[in-house]
A = this chain, B = another copy of it.
Amino acid sequence: MFQHPNLTKLLPSIPMLEWGRRYDRETLISDLVAALIVTVMLIPQSLAYALLAGLHPEVGLYASVAPLVLYAIFGTSRVLAVGPVAVVSLMTAAAIGEHAAIGTPAYWAFAISLAFMSGVILLLMGLLRLGFLAYFLSHPVISGFISASGLLIAASQIKTLMGVNAQGHNFIDLVVSLVQQIPDVHLLTLAVGVGATGFLFWVRKGLKPLLVRWEFQSRTADVLAKTGPVAAIVLTTFLTWFFQWQTQGLKIVGAVPQGLPPLTLPIWDLALWKALAVPALLISVVGFVESVSVGQTLAAKRRQRIAPNQELVALGASNVSAALTGGFPVTGGFARSVVNFDAGAKTPAAGIYTAVGITLASLFLTPALYYLPQATLSATIVVAVLSLVDFSIFKKMWRYSKADFVAVLATMLVTLTLGVELGLVTGVGVSLALYLYRTSRPHIAEVGLVPGTEHFRNITRHEVGTQPTVLGLRVDESLYFANSRVLEDHVNDCVASHPQLAHVVLQCSAINSIDASALESLEAIDSRLRDSGILLHLSEVKGPVMDRLQHTHFLRDLSGKVYLTHFQAIQDLS
């Protein structure tokens, strides 16, 4: 068999073939144990996030089968656990909410189409090696977005905890509506909801120390504490059945269809695809960024590596498979991946075993969910997402960088008031604009020789030596169209304030590129200096920059010389 080498490079690789070959009994047992624990944790999460996305609870189970298998085949992380996650579920609800009514078959069909589109986008990005695009979402923007999403999700769940019908298109409307409906609170629902929430918070904070005192290992205690939501579900379901609370107005999950995930297809409708294109792109990027950061954090702990472009392919395949089996957009989740890691998963096979576990649950467990109170699911969501909310980022960014602070603030405010999609787009826009603004006003330092060295530093910061006839200028930015005029102005000003000047030396150690506009500015600077009887020299021009300048008029016509080091230039011109 002959395969063209470039073609094989374009095809996705299959990491499974790598680890599958060395699979042994010990690994099997580790993976099985981890899978069991993740399954127990994933069942309530799947149900809850499906409800959060506006879908029937069983759709959450469907989304937790095929995607796990596909990720296990194509993914490069050994421990990433794929499935429905909070932020992506919120984004799904926001995207589809405009086009169909919650709970309708059309709504489900749109969710399936959204998963399909998101999968195709991820696959294309992976095959075209566009993973770098995701890095344009900066850390501050992601932090602000995730925190704001956490607040939005919590606010949206509180109505279920209170048993009221609050509604609102943004965070403020929602909170106002919740406050207005306090008199209508359903007390039994509130009791179950608050009880479950309190229990879950206690499990998070109080159970682990208790387990450790009972001489469990710290890691085992961690894993056991993560099964808290299942305990809450079992307990409240039992109480509801025993006291028949649904007859007193407590909303329950009700009949959930039993059976394997159905085979489904996306809607082939160009108008719908156009309407969902931007949300699908944003869901893809957010899902990818979330997934890759989880994967990289965990991989680093075991000295493994993540291949971002291959991750795109894996997540793409997962989402396409979600669309073909009745699911909705999925990605790698933080909490469940950590559990998987801590529980000792060794290979992605653990994901396949988890998929088997969820399949068994959707075949046999769904009747047991009949009496599960919706308030319990909301409680698990609230407790999960509040850990996403992190206001300390504001203080940190304010101290370190005002530009990053503005980006966080803008992302958060717009996400809370105008929605998740605009929030993300604003965040990226603001952070790019601030970056461009900064690079358009470069720092330009006059430099002098640090005594006893060959090193030059800013004359206003260090005790350095200078000469009246030679001016050394260091431009702290690559020269491009947005800032080259600033350099022109700066040199003009410097010449006016140094009457004895005969030489200007531009130290180019921080100039990483010079575009065509900047080249014209340099030509203008050179010709103006020449008119004033001053020579322009360059020093420490980098290789890639020099390669380009080599064949230009500028270098041929330059009044001065190009020096390898600034030290040589100053020695020569003294």
A404 lies within 8 A of B139 (CB): no
CB contact under 8 A between A400 and B481, given known A544-B443, A564-B455:
no
A461 lies within 8 A of B543 (CB): yes
User: Shortest beta-carbon distance, A547 to chain B, in Å?
Assistant: 9
Q: Residue on B with the closest CB to A439?
A: B478
A565 lies within 8 A of B455 (CB): yes
A132 lies within 8 A of B565 (CB): no
B520 lies within 8 A of A482 (CB): no
Q: Does A501 contact B (CB under 8 A)?
A: no
CB contact under 8 A between A519 and B400, given known A436-B432, A565-B455:
yes
6 closest Cβ pairs, A-B complex? A138-B481, A139-B517, A404-B516, A476-B512, A454-B454, A455-B565
Which residues of chain B come closer than 8 Å to A492, judged between CB atoms? 305
Which residues of chain B come closer than 8 Å to A527, judged between CB atoms? 300
B139 lies within 8 A of A520 (CB): yes
Q: Does A248 contact B (CB under 8 A)?
A: no
- Map CB proximity to B onto A378-420 as digits: 1 under 8 Å, 0 otherwise: 0000000000000000001101110110000000000000000
Chosen A-B contacts, 30 in total, with CB atoms closer than 8 Å, are: A132-B482, A132-B486, A135-B483, A135-B485, A136-B482, A137-B481, A138-B517, A140-B516, A140-B517, A300-B524, A300-B531, A305-B492, A308-B485, A396-B516, A399-B551, A400-B519, A400-B552, A401-B515, A403-B515, A404-B516, A435-B482, A438-B513, A442-B512, A443-B542, A453-B454, A454-B454, A455-B540, A458-B543, A477-B512, A510-B510
A443 lies within 8 A of B512 (CB): yes
CB contact under 8 A between A138 and B515, given known A455-B565, A461-B543:
yes
Our pick among B431, B484, B552, B567 for the contact of A481 (Cβ within 8 Å) is B431
Q: Does A441 contact B (CB under 8 A)?
A: yes
User: Shortest beta-carbon distance, A141 to chain B, in Å?
Assistant: 8
Binding site for B on A (CB under 8 A): 132, 135-141, 300, 303, 305, 308, 396-397, 399-401, 403-404, 431-432, 435-436, 438-443, 445, 450, 453-455, 457-458, 461, 476-478, 480-486, 492, 509-513, 515-517, 519-520, 524, 527-528, 531, 540, 542-544, 548, 551-552, 564-565, 567
Which residues of chain B come closer than 8 Å to A551, judged between CB atoms? 399
User: Shortest beta-carbon distance, A118 to chain B, in Å?
Assistant: 22
B478 lies within 8 A of A135 (CB): no
Q: Residue on B with the closest CB to A400?
A: B516
Q: Residue on B with the closest CB to A527?
A: B300
Q: A132-B441, A135-B483 are in contact. List 13 more A-B contacts (CB 8 A).
A: A132-B486, A135-B486, A136-B436, A136-B481, A136-B482, A137-B481, A303-B531, A400-B552, A401-B516, A438-B513, A450-B565, A454-B455, A454-B567
Once bound together, how far apart are the Cα atoms of A138 and B439, in whole Å?
14
B548 lies within 8 A of A450 (CB): no
User: Shortest beta-carbon distance, A315 to chain B, in Å?
Assistant: 17
Q: Residue on B with the closest CB to A431?
A: B481
Q: Residue on B with the closest CB to A143?
A: B516
Q: How many identical chains are in the complex?
A: 2
A440 lies within 8 A of B516 (CB): no
Which residues of chain B come closer than 8 Å to A438, judged between CB atoms? 513
User: Shortest beta-carbon distance, A61 to chain B, in Å?
Assistant: 34
B483 lies within 8 A of A404 (CB): no
Once bound together, how far apart are the Cα atoms of A476 and B478, in whole Å?
9
Our pick among B139, B303, B482 for the contact of A516 (Cβ within 8 Å) is B139
Which residues of chain B come closer than 8 Å to A441, judged between CB atoms? 132
A544 lies within 8 A of B476 (CB): yes
B400 lies within 8 A of A445 (CB): no
Once bound together, how far apart are the Cα atoms of A511 and B404, in whole Å?
18
Once bound together, how far apart are the Cα atoms of A17 and B312, in whole Å?
65
Which residues of chain B come closer than 8 Å to A141, judged between CB atoms? 481
Q: Residue on B with the closest CB to A512?
A: B476
B445 lies within 8 A of A543 (CB): yes
Which residues of chain B come closer than 8 Å to A400, judged between CB atoms? 516, 519, 548, 552
